[in-house]
Amino acid sequence: MDWRDVFADRMDLLGDTAVIELLKLAERPDVLSFAGGLPDAATFPMEAMKEVAVQVFDTHGSMSLQYGPTAGYTALREWIAHRMGPVEGVTAGVDDILVTTGGIEAMDLIAKTLLNPGDIVIVEAPTYLTAFSVFRCYDVEFVAVDIDDEGMRVDLLEERLGELERRGKRAKLIYTMPTFQNPGGVTMPQERRRKLVGLADRHNIPILEDHAYAELYFDHPPPPSLKALNPDGVLFVSTFSKIFGPGIRLGWIAAPPAVVNQLCQAKLGSDQCSSTLGQRIVYEYGRQGLMDSQIVLSRALYQAKRNVTLEALAEHAPPGMTWTRPDGGFYVWLTTPEGIDSTAMLAWAVENEKVAYVAGPSFYTDGRGANQFRLCYSFLDQSLIGEGISRVCRSVAHHVERRHRARIGA
């Protein structure tokens, strides 16, 4: 069997194996890794989770091992819908909710349901790198809109939509993470959110709002979600990966019921239904208030890690390096002086300083970001963050110095 000629064309678009490699790198015990966006396992209350799992076996019995409805375990959907009121300011009913096998499946189902080959998807620049793995499978065209310290620049978005209109085209979907953006660590203020949903609504373009980190805020809650501002025009995606644990592989979509019906059709051919056992564990855990307690502790833990990260950067950063200051979530986005190649620097940093991050170009559609990179402060033990940051900063300083010497011909 000659397998080389057999693969589908879309596989040529999936060359970037960054995430797979990252997860491997994160496993190397000698490297302090700021690479993979993993939650801190200290946020998983294992004893409480075990007790809930035992309750599920004892009280739900064999139903927890049987097939379940494609849209999700009804009691969990009801609980999610109800919780979106107080937590998100979103009024949702059970028919608005689809349970998914994590946030990635949620995005994949939306892509499958909406996107034809050649369709235009608006993404942020930089954006969540695994979003490329999702959308590229559907052979779409990306239009990237830069972010600043307040998230996606809606003025640039308006320009892009105008340009598309003049070319007789229109965007099919706007993908945005307005709160504690990955990788930017930035958050869109309320006024810009209003402009964004208004603009999308005038152009009749659905918004995929990625809400993965929004519950993990620090000093104060973020502004209302886009979904709260325009319930009918926003497909809201969130995940239990950061507020329970990624190993349970569950997330959800809040969308108008007509869209949920189509998403169910798509899900039937993706995995039929999400884990019944997992859904019942999350339901019991959430219903008993344990998730809300976990979130409170998680916020404090990640806030402390954010603080250590920013303090260490202030202390060790070489001149000319800048970074964002996240109010929640997992990420700081750094920009080095011009002329530094963050990809080449990464290999050097892993080898010489035993520290890892994700180089900037992985987050762009067009190869930009050479002098940028992402640090994830959520996973590394808090006592190691300071040392890790000093290693990162030494790596940058070394490359700035090397570049300086090369310039002056030394």
Which residues 6-45 are close enough to bind a copy of itself by CB under 8 A?
6-11, 14, 17, 19-20, 23-24, 36, 38-39, 41-42, 44
Least distance to a copy of itself, CB of residue 274, Å: 7
> x/- contact string, 296-315, with a copy of itself (CB under 8 A)?
--------------------
Nearer to a copy of itself, 47 or 366 (CB): 47
For residues 277 and 312, which CB has a smaller minimum distance to a copy of itself in the complex?
277
**What residues from 168 to 187 belong to the interface with a copy of itself (CB under 8 A)?**
172
Nearer to a copy of itself, 12 or 351 (CB): 12
Residue 49: CB atoms within 10 A of its CB come to 18
Q: Smallest Cα–Cα separation from 128: which of 239, 206, 234, 212? A: 212
C-alpha span between 343 and 320 (Å, rounded): 19
Select from 49-57, 120-128, 327-335, 336-344 the region that touches a copy of itself (CB under 8 A): 49-57
Dist CA 59 CA 348 (whole Å) = 54
**Residues of this chain, 128-147, that bind a copy of itself according to CB under 8 A:** 130, 133-137
Label residues 169-195 b or e (16+ Cβ within 10 Å = b): eebbbbbbbbbbbbbbbbbbeeebbbe
- 260-299: contacts with a copy of itself (CB under 8 A): 262, 264-266, 268-278
Tell the smallest beta-carbon distance from residue 396 to a copy of itself (Å): 28
3-state secondary structure at position 195: helix
What is the rounded CA–CA span in Å between residue 158 and residue 217?
29
Nearer to a copy of itself, 23 or 314 (CB): 23
Give me the residues paired with residue 372 across strands.
Answer: 335
Provide CB contacts within 8 A for 33, sequence distance 6+. 25, 26, 355, 356, 379, 380
197 to 216: interface string for a copy of itself, x by CB under 8 A: ----x--x-x----------
Smallest separation (angstroms) from a copy of itself to the CB of 75: 14
Q: Does position 153 bind a copy of itself by CB under 8 A?
A: no
Q: How far is the CB of 339 from a copy of itself (least distance, A)?
A: 32
Pick the stretch among 147-155, 183-191, 258-266, 314-322 that binds a copy of itself (CB under 8 A): 258-266
Q: Which is nearer to a copy of itself, 248 or 313 (CB)?
A: 248
- Considering only residues 234 through 253, tell me which ones interact with a copy of itself, judged by CB under 8 A: 241, 244-249
Of residues 333-352, those binding a copy of itself (CB under 8 A): none
Q: How many residues bind a copy of itself (CB under 8 A)?
A: 88
- Of 189, 172, 185, give the one whose Cα is nearest residue 212: 185
Binding residue for a copy of itself (CB under 8 A) from 1, 86, 319, 366?
Answer: 1
**Interface with a copy of itself in residues 50-109 (CB under 8 A):** 50, 53-54, 57-58, 61-70, 101-102, 104-105, 108
> Does 232 engage in binding with a copy of itself (CB under 8 A)?
yes
Minimum Å distance from CB 321 to a copy of itself?
Answer: 29
- Cβ proximity of 107 and 127 under 8 Å: no
Eight-state DSSP code of residue 317: P
Site string for a copy of itself, 366-395 (x = CB under 8 A): ------------------------------
Judged by beta carbon, residue 37 or residue 151, the one nearer a copy of itself is: 37
Q: In the complex with a copy of itself, which residue's Cβ is closer, 67 or 319?
A: 67
SS3 track for 224-237: CCHHHHCCCCEEEE
Which residues 6+ apart lie within 8 Å of 276 measured at CB? 63, 64, 65, 66, 67, 68, 73
For residue 147, give Cα distances in angstroms to 85, 220, 265. 29, 22, 34
In the complex, the smallest distance separating the C-beta of residue 245 from a copy of itself, rounded to whole angstroms, is 3
Q: Locate 308 and state its tokens.
A: 């250590």
Tell the smallest beta-carbon distance from residue 355 to a copy of itself (Å): 20
In the complex with a copy of itself, the residue whose CB is nearer, 272 or 352, is 272
Pick left, alpha or beta for residue 252 (phi over 0 → left; psi -120 to 50 → alpha; otherwise beta): beta
For residue 217, give Cα distances in angstroms to 31, 128, 241, 253, 330: 28, 19, 15, 21, 10
Beta partners for 74? none
Unique residue bearing structure tokens 């005038």: 202
